């Protein structure tokens, strides 16, 4: 069996792609230059008051950027369509494109439904009026669907941990020497230094990354909101004390803090578990106060909703902090155990991100508490927690949603950094940071093991940043 080239029978598109990418680079550079020299100049308008291209170099170059971008996107779409139709006949690109078939179907269905019903979907629907937001959202959802379908073993070509004899450090497109019936016949992105499939590890790594980063960010937001709202609303000594603690944590270098938390001596003391007891309690506290402040005048609803929400959360909380043969091992209804390395990383990420979220929420609460609708709620005799959670918090959701997207990106980078330094998830985990670390040891000889996970991490963080920009633009229009 012959080795695959990158584009196979679709190679006729390569020169077209090079031309469109070159035009895009030239038009972007020209747009930057013209923007610098025409800054402050008034746009040329026609008789009807609309902006015209004649005598308006910035608008003309901007049109060139849009057209060259659309041409590049059309060529990339052609690669995808040919890959779906031809598979490995279209080379490595075609093989990977065909493996991602469930992802393409899910993306098309989601975008079609979202665009049709966007006027009924609030801020999410308005996101599809922003080209930047749509691109960012598309990139993010590509990796989200990849993580979902990879967990269902619908994308990866091989087991992420299996080693195949003779495939050590093999280049992309290398065929397996003794592939059996039902086995995929190539390593699409080559093999790493342990003869594992790089493509499968990259795909499985998305599941590991997206399994922890959003959840850790959500826990950090629960901690930051629960402490930041009263600090900003009450002020005084409470604000001074909590702000001092936040600044104290932020004063530590992040990597040094992680080194301290993951050292065996610190882990043996049970400190990460004790930290988990405190940090993981905040979702319970937040949900309890949120529901009680809203329904305290309706006792029957209050008790019912509290029981429905808090009982499952309490059982989940006890399962999270309780671990067999550890410092905390007393709860009989332990539904699952988190591996020690995962717990340490999770707690550390929440601990590091919480102070920053606290400062953002505190600043927003300081501003919002002076608004008229807050004074009106005080006049009605509403409780302080009701005002904070049902008057102030909904009105700062725009900045918090944007920061949540950005913070997931920061968390992904942080997890990748920890994995790169060997402080992240367990060694057998195919997370992108660990995979990059494995590949960089032979980076001067073999580029292919380290580049795919690095590109995946970069693209996901880029998508989150673009999504945050799109959400910010649309939220400012409200």
With H, G, I as helix, E, B as strand and everything else as coil, classify residue 423: coil
- The confidence score (pLDDT) of residue 356 equals 92
Using one digit for the tens of pLDDT, what is the confidence trace for 299-352?
A: 889 999 999 999 999 998 888 888 776 778 777 777 777 776 778 888 888 888
Cα gap 320→343, rounded to integer Å: 9
Does the structure show a pLDDT above 90 at 469? no
Does the structure show a pLDDT above 60 at 285? yes
**pLDDT tier, 48 (very low <50, low <70, confident <90, very high otherwise):** low
Asked whether the beta carbons of 92 and 188 are under 8 A apart, the reply is: yes
Residue 287: what are its φ and ψ, rounded to 5°?
Answer: -65, -40
Does the structure show a pLDDT above 80 at 79? yes
- The confidence score (pLDDT) of residue 212 equals 85
- The most confident of the ranges 30-44, 168-182, 372-386 is 372-386
Task: Indicate the domain borders of the chain.
Answer: 1-37+54-99, 103-478
- The confidence score (pLDDT) of residue 178 equals 73
Q: What share of the chain is helix, strand, coil (3-state, %, to 5)?
A: 70, 0, 25
- The confidence score (pLDDT) of residue 392 equals 92
Asked whether the beta carbons of 204 and 152 are under 8 A apart, the reply is: no
The stretch 407-421 carries a mean pLDDT of 81
- The confidence score (pLDDT) of residue 323 equals 77
Using one digit for the tens of pLDDT, what is the confidence trace for 166-198?
A: 888 888 998 887 767 677 888 899 888 888 999
Does the structure show a pLDDT above 90 at 53? no
**pLDDT tier, 150 (very low <50, low <70, confident <90, very high otherwise):** very high
Does the structure show a pLDDT above 80 at 36? no
- The confidence score (pLDDT) of residue 25 equals 93
State percent of the chain over pLDDT 70. 93
With H, G, I as helix, E, B as strand and everything else as coil, classify residue 166: coil
CA torsion 86-91-93-99 (nearest 10°) is 60
Please name which of 172, 132, 213, 145 lies closest in space to residue 413, comparing C-alpha atoms.
213
Does the structure show a pLDDT above 70 at 404? yes
- The confidence score (pLDDT) of residue 179 equals 66
Using one digit for the tens of pLDDT, what is the confidence trace for 241-272?
A: 999 999 998 888 777 777 777 777 787 888 88
- The confidence score (pLDDT) of residue 193 equals 86
- The confidence score (pLDDT) of residue 473 equals 80
The stretch 48-52 carries a mean pLDDT of 54
State the average pLDDT for the chain: 86
Q: Which two tokens stand for residue 309?
A: 């929400």
- The confidence score (pLDDT) of residue 286 equals 93
- The confidence score (pLDDT) of residue 73 equals 92
Here the contacts of 98-105 (C-beta below 8 Å, separation 24 or greater) are 99/155, 99/156, 99/157, 99/188, 99/199, 99/203, 100/146, 100/155, 102/145, 102/149, 102/154, 102/155, 103/142, 103/145, 103/146, 103/149, 103/155, 104/80
Count of residues in the chain: 478
Does the structure show a pLDDT above 90 at 442? no
Name which residue leads in pLDDT, 172 or 434: 172
- The confidence score (pLDDT) of residue 414 equals 81
- The confidence score (pLDDT) of residue 43 equals 55
The stretch 135-149 carries a mean pLDDT of 94
**pLDDT tier, 129 (very low <50, low <70, confident <90, very high otherwise):** confident
Q: Output the CA–CA distances (angstroms, integers) from residue 80 to 77, 93, 156, 296, in the order listed.
A: 5, 8, 18, 55
Using one digit for the tens of pLDDT, what is the confidence trace for 205-235?
A: 999 888 888 998 999 999 999 999 999 999 8
- The confidence score (pLDDT) of residue 2 equals 82
Q: pTM (2 decimals)?
A: 0.87
Does the structure show a pLDDT above 90 at 109? yes
Q: Which two tokens stand for residue 97?
A: 């494109």
Q: Which two tokens stand for residue 100?
A: 């991602």
- The confidence score (pLDDT) of residue 259 equals 75
Q: Which two tokens stand for residue 76?
A: 């990339």
């Amino acid at each position: 069996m012959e080795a695959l080239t990158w584009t196979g029978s679709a190679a006729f598109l390569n020169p077209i792609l090079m031309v469109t990418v070159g035009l895009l680079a030239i038009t972007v550079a020209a747009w930057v230059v013209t923007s610098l020299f025409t800054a402050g100049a008034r746009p040329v308008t026609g008789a009807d008051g609309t902006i015209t291209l004649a005598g308006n170099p910035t608008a003309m170059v901007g049109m060139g950027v849009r057209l060259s971008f659309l041409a590049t996107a059309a060529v990339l779409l052609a690669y995808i369509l040919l890959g779906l139709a031809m598979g490995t006949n279209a080379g490595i690109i075609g093989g990977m494109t065909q493996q991602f078939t469930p992802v393409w179907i899910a993306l098309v269905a989601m975008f079609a439904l979202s665009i049709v019903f966007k006027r009924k979907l609030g801020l999410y629907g308005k996101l599809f009026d922003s080209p930047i937001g749509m691109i960012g959202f598309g990139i993010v959802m590509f990796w989200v669907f990849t993580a979902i379908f990879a967990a269902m073993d619908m994308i990866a070509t091989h087991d992420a941990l299996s080693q195949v004899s003779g495939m050590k450090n093999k280049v992309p497109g290398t065929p397996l020497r003794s592939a059996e019936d039902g086995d995929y016949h190539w390593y699409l992105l080559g093999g790493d230094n342990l003869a594992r499939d790089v493509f499968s590890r990259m795909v499985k790594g998305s599941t590991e990354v997206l399994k922890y980063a959003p959840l850790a960010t959500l826990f950090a937001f629960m901690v930051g909101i629960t402490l930041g709202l009263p600090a900003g609303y009450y002020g005084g000594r409470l604000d001074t004390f909590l702000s001092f603690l936040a600044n104290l944590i932020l004063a530590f270098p992040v990597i040094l803090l992680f080194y301290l938390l993951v050292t065996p001596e610190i882990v043996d003391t049970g400190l990460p578990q004790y930290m988990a007891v405190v940090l993981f309690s905040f979702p319970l506290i937040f949900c309890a106060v949120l529901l009680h402040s809203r329904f305290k005048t309706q006792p029957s609803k209050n008790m019912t909703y509290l029981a429905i929400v808090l009982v499952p959360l309490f059982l989940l909380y006890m399962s999270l902090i309780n671990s067999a043969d550890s410092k905390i091992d007393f709860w009989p209804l332990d539904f699952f155990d988190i591996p020690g390395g995962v717990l340490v990383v999770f707690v550390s990420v929440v601990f590091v991100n919480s102070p920053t979220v606290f400062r953002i929420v505190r600043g927003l609460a300081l501003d919002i508490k002076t608004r008229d609708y807050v004074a009106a709620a005080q006049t009605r005799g509403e409780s302080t927690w009701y005002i904070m959670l049902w008057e102030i918090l909904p009105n700062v959701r725009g900045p918090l949603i944007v920061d949540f997207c950005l913070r997931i990106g920061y968390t992904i980078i942080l997890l990748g950094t920890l994995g790169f330094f060997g402080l992240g998830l367990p060694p057998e985990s195919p997370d992108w940071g660990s995979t990059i670390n494995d590949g960089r040891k032979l980076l001067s000889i073999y580029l292919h093991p380290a580049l795919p996970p690095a590109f995946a991490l970069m693209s996901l963080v880029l998508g989150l940043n673009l999504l945050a920009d799109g959400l910010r633009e649309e939220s400012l229009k409200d």
